[in-house]
A and B are shown apart, each in its own frame.
Chain A
């Protein structure tokens, strides 16, 4: 039903200046059946990622961003039903037999997870956990793999790498553990690294260090990175392109600069408004998006953001198509925000929009 539409629709990112596509996701849908309830986690997600680029996928928890990433690696529970297409250099990843998929995991696509305290095996030495990843995709001897593991630990700037090789995860700090998780991800020299909220569990200083590390590795090793986050500010600082997800679908796609300069989708606008800014008055209420993200088991008809959107009208009962309205800028909205340049009522200095702003901030007045 939705298949024929996806075929005629080139995914975002395949514009004029599109380079060699590393990953092309088209109309990805993931559904879970839980206790008789159907949970629609991803509802037709499309994007394209070029080799060596950083793409950010932004959304609230439950927006389907992590599920969509795990789908690429075939790491979903057996109850998941997946449709659509995800081609990695032309090879279809979805529906690939488990045995074949194993050859791609770690070797072509690797993943870094949210909580480094939980993503390492507490009973295994750091070294053993890295060499296991190395030896999964090479025929190195134990000794060679150990030497390579120490190299990797140095590559992620883990202090005293030789000593850490013999330590256990609980002997390391959170930031150091995340470096180890990144070293494991690099073990198979992947061309795509998925960082799934990789800095969320870390304190702010460590967050910045880990992001800098990812950026450095991306430039040194020429890897592409999918940066999954709820933090639009983070995405803007590091990603080339940004996909904003809501209720399992893409609602806006643009380059990071374009998105910040000309935000269109009211949801993105509201997200931008919710970023704390130093310029704001002290003790001013931080704008929040009213309401709750929709229950993925009972999505509203039409635009999923309609119940929370200040600009919503009856037109929004019809689902807005996700289309390229301006070159390189895609959105799904019947009432996109106007360009700040064309809209003198808005304060051009601040990225946030009227929809997310409580009256107290007084921008409307």
Chain B
């Protein structure tokens, strides 16, 4: 009777599809539609309010009004904003995001390229920061106010008070200029040369990861200490006679991980903002750089597409956060009561 017990543990996919979490995904994705619409209307409207348009930017200050009007007509910029928006929307729902006014390239294709680059950069930064923050926080929480805790606290407070673009410049100065061990700028596609690609990613990813690492370390350390000192189930675990690491990992960390996941999920959307600056500093052809250039040239369709991608990433990040809760927290997975 007790031998067959093990089979009742269900696999993670089985849990996901059979659970309320799966219905939640559908609901969230449907909710994303009005969000996308709202974001696109807002972007279009704001860009329309800014004086100057792509035709003026392309022709420069010397152009005559006739030349500008002619180019505007050619680009379709003389039509009213509302009809231009619906033109764009009609294309967008079929996957056609139009062509860039400036480069004439297909926006969707350009976006795909840039997105891979940005995703690699932020992905590396995120993985590195969490992967380092977890062991450091665990070691610090093992002996609160111990030497390791104090040192890690000092480091993380210092790291938090440095802006990532300042850090980026310092990194360039030290590792690219002074010691010349890593490239300061430039990007080599992964498929072309994986080693060069990663070498080029080290400095920008570090610049993004350090403040994140510091924040995650402080947050997780604080949460772990709260669990260890304030929770009865920790005393139960200690009373079993198990070792301090087992108490920390199996009991405190498991419960603290919910808080960490929330923070990482919320961070993900602000992370996109920091890539705009970092990509410009390191001349990395990512989404942030593309959007910055497009805003300068009033390349409305490209800006529009970038903003939509950012919105999608934010919605997905929140969705993944909630799904992770469902995987980790049985109270949510099975519903309460």
Closest A residue, CB atoms, query B238:
A75
- Find out whether the CB atom of A133 lies under 8 angstroms from the CB atom of B330: no
B154 nearest CB across to chain A (Å):
22
Which residues of chain B come closer than 8 Å to A165, judged between CB atoms?
5
Contact of A166 among B3, B9, B231 (CB under 8 A): B9
Contact of A162 among B5, B255, B330 (CB under 8 A): B5
Per the 8 Å Cβ criterion, residues 155-191 of A in contact with B are 162, 165-166, 168, 170-171, 181, 184-185, 187-188
- Find out whether the CB atom of B235 lies under 8 angstroms from the CB atom of A113: yes
Per the 8 Å Cβ criterion, residues 75-95 of A in contact with B are 75, 77
- Find out whether the CB atom of A102 lies under 8 angstroms from the CB atom of B235: no
Taking the complex as formed, is A200 at the interface, i.e. its CB lies under 8 A from any CB of chain B?
no
Query: Which of B78-86, B96-104, B200-208, B240-248 lies at the interface?
Result: B240-248
CA distance in complex: A107, B8 (Å): 30
Per the 8 Å Cβ criterion, residues 115-151 of A in contact with B are 115, 118-125, 127, 132-133, 136-137, 143, 146-147, 150
Closest A residue, CB atoms, query B239:
A111
- Find out whether the CB atom of A136 lies under 8 angstroms from the CB atom of B331: no
Taking the complex as formed, is A106 at the interface, i.e. its CB lies under 8 A from any CB of chain B?
yes
Taking the complex as formed, is B11 at the interface, i.e. its CB lies under 8 A from any CB of chain A?
no
Which residues of chain B come closer than 8 Å to A184, judged between CB atoms?
236, 240
- Find out whether the CB atom of A168 lies under 8 angstroms from the CB atom of B232: no
Contact of B241 among A118, A122, A150, A188 (CB under 8 A): A188
CA distance in complex: A106, B254 (Å): 22
- Find out whether the CB atom of A105 lies under 8 angstroms from the CB atom of B231: no
Which residues of chain B come closer than 8 Å to A121, judged between CB atoms?
233, 236-237, 250-251, 254-255
Taking the complex as formed, is B328 at the interface, i.e. its CB lies under 8 A from any CB of chain A?
yes
Taking the complex as formed, is B1 at the interface, i.e. its CB lies under 8 A from any CB of chain A?
yes
Interface residues of B, dominant DSSP? helix
Taking the complex as formed, is A336 at the interface, i.e. its CB lies under 8 A from any CB of chain B?
no
Which residues of chain B come closer than 8 Å to A214, judged between CB atoms?
none
- Find out whether the CB atom of B8 lies under 8 angstroms from the CB atom of A166: yes
B29 nearest CB across to chain A (Å):
28
Closest A residue, CB atoms, query B328:
A123
Taking the complex as formed, is B22 at the interface, i.e. its CB lies under 8 A from any CB of chain A?
no
CA distance in complex: A106, B242 (Å): 9
Q: Knowing A132-B242, A165-B5, A168-B330, say if A113 contacts B337 (CB, 8 Å).
A: no
Which residues of chain B come closer than 8 Å to A73, judged between CB atoms?
239
Which residues of chain B come closer than 8 Å to A75, judged between CB atoms?
235, 238-239
Taking the complex as formed, is A238 at the interface, i.e. its CB lies under 8 A from any CB of chain B?
no
- Find out whether the CB atom of B337 lies under 8 angstroms from the CB atom of A105: no
CA distance in complex: A278, B2 (Å): 48
Contact of A123 among B229, B254, B337 (CB under 8 A): B254
Which residues of chain B come closer than 8 Å to A168, judged between CB atoms?
330-331, 334
Which residues of chain A come closer than 8 Å to B236, judged between CB atoms?
111, 113, 119-121, 181, 184
Taking the complex as formed, is A104 at the interface, i.e. its CB lies under 8 A from any CB of chain B?
yes
Closest A residue, CB atoms, query B246:
A132
A196 nearest CB across to chain B (Å):
10
Which residues of chain A come closer than 8 Å to B8, judged between CB atoms?
166
CA distance in complex: A121, B255 (Å): 8
- Find out whether the CB atom of B241 lies under 8 angstroms from the CB atom of A147: no
Which residues of chain A come closer than 8 Å to B1, judged between CB atoms?
162
- Find out whether the CB atom of B232 lies under 8 angstroms from the CB atom of A77: no
- Find out whether the CB atom of A166 lies under 8 angstroms from the CB atom of B5: yes
Which residues of chain B come closer than 8 Å to A162, judged between CB atoms?
1-2, 5
- Find out whether the CB atom of A119 lies under 8 angstroms from the CB atom of B330: no
B134 nearest CB across to chain A (Å):
16
Which residues of chain B come closer than 8 Å to A102, judged between CB atoms?
241-243
- Find out whether the CB atom of B232 lies under 8 angstroms from the CB atom of A105: no
Taking the complex as formed, is B120 at the interface, i.e. its CB lies under 8 A from any CB of chain A?
no
A145 nearest CB across to chain B (Å):
11
Which residues of chain B come closer than 8 Å to A122, judged between CB atoms?
233, 255, 329-331
- Find out whether the CB atom of A77 lies under 8 angstroms from the CB atom of B241: no
Closest A residue, CB atoms, query B236:
A119
Taking the complex as formed, is A276 at the interface, i.e. its CB lies under 8 A from any CB of chain B?
no
A127 nearest CB across to chain B (Å):
8
Beyond the given pairs A75-B235, A102-B242, A184-B236, 11 more chain A to chain B contacts, judged by CB atoms under 8 angstroms and listed by A's residue number, are A102-B241, A105-B240, A106-B240, A120-B236, A122-B255, A124-B250, A137-B241, A143-B3, A147-B2, A168-B331, A187-B240
Residues of B in contact with A (beta carbons under 8 Å apart): 1-3, 5-6, 8-9, 229, 231-233, 235-243, 246, 250-251, 254-255, 328-331, 334, 336-337
What 10 pairs between A and B have smallest CB-CB spacing? A106-B241, A105-B241, A118-B232, A133-B240, A168-B330, A119-B232, A121-B233, A106-B240, A147-B2, A111-B239
